């Protein structure tokens, strides 16, 4: 019996689907180690921090009709498997932090977007 895994995904920004080459979501928990003076000479615990959500997205550059990525502010991003079978992942309060371009010898030219999000949940 073969295992089934999530394959291709669809990226939706404010209800509009976008063609993407890659999406790399990441989470920083913000937790920190609490160092105290004790007999063991080790840290004894952690303190809760503020979560940070970041998405690195690569999109192919179209010849015409490229979206104004600079205007991406307080957006809702959702990714979900194209073939179903898994929960949607949604980030809200998304804003563009960085934008770069990549031109290669072989392959398409891409925009590399770094997006910060305020909230994350699954549907």
Tell me: the pLDDT tens digits for 97-115?
999 999 988 889 999 999 9
Q: So what's the pLDDT on residue 48?
A: 95
Stated pTM of the model: 0.86
CA dist list (Å): 46 to 38, 42, 73? 15, 12, 33
Number of independent structural domains in the chain: 1
Range of the domain at 77: 9-122
Q: What CATH number does the domain containing 16 carry?
A: 2.40.30
| Residue 2 banded pLDDT, cuts 50, 70, 90 | low
**Is residue 4 assigned to a domain?**
no
Residue 106 falls within a domain, yes or no? yes
Contacts of 60 (CB under 8 A, 6+ apart): 19, 21, 108, 109, 110
């Amino acid at each position: 019996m073969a295992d089934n895994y999530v394959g291709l995904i669809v990226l939706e920004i404010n209800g509009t689907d976008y063609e993407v080459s890659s999406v790399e979501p990441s989470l920083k928990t913000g937790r920190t180690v609490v160092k105290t003076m004790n007999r063991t000479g080790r840290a004894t615990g952690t303190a809760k921090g503020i979560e940070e959500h970041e998405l690195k997205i690569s999109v192919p550059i179209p010849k015409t009709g490229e979206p104004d990525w600079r205007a991406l502010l307080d957006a809702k991003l959702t990714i979900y498997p194209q073939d179903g079978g898994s929960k949607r992942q949604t980030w809200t309060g998304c804003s563009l932090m960085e934008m770069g371009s990549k031109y290669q010898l072989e392959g398409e030219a891409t925009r590399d977007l770094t997006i910060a999000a305020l909230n994350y949940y699954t549907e």
